[in-house]
Amino acid sequence: MKGEILFRNVRLVDGRDDLGQADVLVGEGRILSLAGGEAPRVVEARGMVLSPGFCDPHAHLREPGQEVKEDLESGLSAAARGGYTDVVSMPNTQPVVDTPEAVRALRERAVRIGQARLHPAAALTQGQEGQLLSEARGLREAGAVLLTDDGRTNEDAGVLALGLRYAASWGLVVAVHAEDAGLRRGGVMHEGAVSFRLGLPGNPGYAESARIARDLEVLRYVQSLGQHPRLHIQHLSTRRGLELVRQAKREGLPVSAEATPHHLTLTDEALQSLDPLYKVAPPLRPRADVEALLEGLLEGSIDCIGTDHAPHTPDEKALDLLRAPFGIPNLELAWPLLYTELVEKRGFPLPTLVARFTDGPRRALGLAPIHLEEGAEASLVLWNPAGARPVDPAAFASKARYSPWAGWLLSGWPQLTLVEGRVVFSASHPELLY
């Protein structure tokens, strides 16, 4: 019984269904029972919801080399506060994570920290320079879960094709930052009515869809060679891009896609303030694109939520819109934000949203889904569907204590996060931490 926890009168919701109320006994890293039992630690959870732990396929944790912005300890602690049990870190660090030794070092440090589990992504090409491929086999054996040059676009289609082939040989996914560099040029926001009015350089939506179209053709080519590649489209932001992904899925192409909390809740109208807080890549799009993405999320053309958590120092984000870096932090509020904006305000089905945070990303990465059943891994999040409170960036565990959603009143805040039965975050039960 040592170490066991009983969640009493808790509502169970996973990516398959709303399973109703139960008494859940957790121990030995597993769900031992959905019919109660005896435990030395009891959480009275009436009114709360228990779900599988969230999985983020796309986060920038800045280690190594940029620890002033974020490090593994602050980033993985922020993830645990957000209900995440699993996080994929991007490799565009200093130096770039493109060797087995770098992957192994990150994993070992994350284990010592003991917060959310880290699944490092490694660079598709050496130094993310888009020329020479990284060594897929060694990276896989070291623990990398996908290969990506995220932060840079893969301009050479031949290199991408070879990368897909080698990645497929070792069971790795290739994720792409789908923007055509020639069309994007120096755009700092979406090219459209707002950018024209402000006189700012724009990034057209077609920069995204043109690159998605090319990458899907590369995927078809590699598949025609009798191989089994997997392509993941990062931070999808446009209706046209979604249409291309939807059609590819109908054809049976092995492609998955993610959308971010900011592309689902904000539009380019926010840039009228000239506040660089809203400067992200790809840029915030018009309302029509946001509505299309929401439909794609509902129907499953968009497989999952990827936060694209991208912390910078406050001084960097305080620069003007032309000079400030792209990116915002959001690991700690992705779930309450989308629960509030989609489920509470728009009637989005709760199990479907849970699936986009759990089953969807895990399947895209080749990880087994976690469902609420006896014997399942006890990597779980307990969250409160009520208890609305405003977003307070000053209270973030992340080093990036600013947010475009500051002051927004959100419900659904995680209360307790467990990784294999071990409590890694507790908002109201500090005695459970160990």
- Give the helix/strand (H/E) hosting 137: helix 136-142
Confidence (pLDDT) at 151: 86
Residues 411 and 48: beta-carbon distance below 8 Å: no
Over residues 367-404, the pLDDT tens digits come to: 999 999 999 999 999 999 998 999 999 999 999 999 99
On whether residue 223 sits in a domain, the answer given is: yes
Q: What is the Cα gyration radius of the chain? A: 21
Both 65 and 31 in one domain: the answer is no
Based on the domain organization, do 323 and 232 belong to the same domain?
A: yes
The pLDDT of residue 2: 61
For residue 254, what pLDDT is reported?
A: 98
Residue 10 maps to which CATH number? 2.30.40.10
Q: Is residue 370 part of a domain?
A: no
Task: For 59, list phi and psi in degrees, rounded to 5.
Answer: -140, 145
pLDDT, tens digit, for every residue of 19-36? 999 999 999 999 999 998
pLDDT greater than 90 at residue 413: yes
Q: How many domains does the chain have?
A: 2
**Using alpha carbons only, what angle is made at residue 76 by residues 134 and 320, rounded to the nearest 5 degrees?**
80
Q: What is the pLDDT of residue 430?
A: 66
Rounded CA-CA distance 242/220 in Å is 17
Token pair in block for residue 75: 């980033």
Q: Are both 23 and 167 inside the same structural domain? A: no
> What average pLDDT does the segment 218-223 reach?
98
Q: Is there a domain that residue 389 lies in?
A: yes
What is the pLDDT, as a whole number, of residue 3?
83
Residue 265 banded pLDDT, cuts 50, 70, 90: very high
Asked if 212 and 158 sit in the same domain, the reply is yes
Q: Which of 346, 365, 384 lies at the terminal end of a domain, its last residue?
A: 365
Q: Is there a single domain that holds both residue 261 and residue 293? A: yes
Q: Is 240 exposed, middle or buried (0-12, 13-18, 19+ CB in 10 A)?
A: middle
- Give the whole-angstrom CA distance, residue 24 versus residue 28: 13
**Res 428: pLDDT:** 78
Round the average pLDDT of the chain to a whole number and report it.
Answer: 97
Domain end (from 332, 365, 398): 365
Expressed as residue numbers, the domain containing 217 is 53-365
Q: Of residues 275, 308, 359, 392, which has the active-site annotation?
A: 308
Residues 172 and 315 grouped into a single domain = yes
Residues 339, 402 share a domain: no
Residue 371 lies in a domain: no
* Same-domain pairing of 268 and 253: yes
- What's this model's pTM, rounded to 2 decimal places? 0.97
Q: Which helix (H) or strand (E) holds 5?
A: strand 5-13
pLDDT of residue 431: 61
Which is it for the CA torsion 190, 364, 421, 115, positive or negative? Answer: negative
Tokens of 310: 């991208």
CA gap 395, 416 in Å, rounded? 17
Residue 279's CATH number? 3.20.20.140
Q: Is the pLDDT of residue 432 over 80?
A: no
Is 14 annotated in the active site? Answer: no
**Domain end: 365, 395, 419, which one?**
365
Would residue 162 count as lying in a domain? Answer: yes
Q: Name 258's Cβ contacts closer than 8 Å, sequence gap at least 6.
A: 57, 58, 232, 233, 234, 235, 236, 302, 303, 304, 305, 306, 361, 364
Do 85 and 197 fall within a single domain?
A: yes
Residues 361 and 327 in one domain: yes
153 occurs within a structural domain: yes
Q: CA 366 to CA 344: how far, in whole Å?
A: 31
pLDDT in tens, 272-288: 999 999 999 999 999 99
Cα 34 from Cα 40, distance rounded (Å): 17
Closest CA to 335 of 21, 100, 54: 54
- 36 vs 312, more confident: 312
Based on the fold, state whether residues 44 and 98 are members of the same structural domain. Answer: no
Please indicate, yes or no, whether residues 59 and 203 belong to a single structural domain of this protein. yes
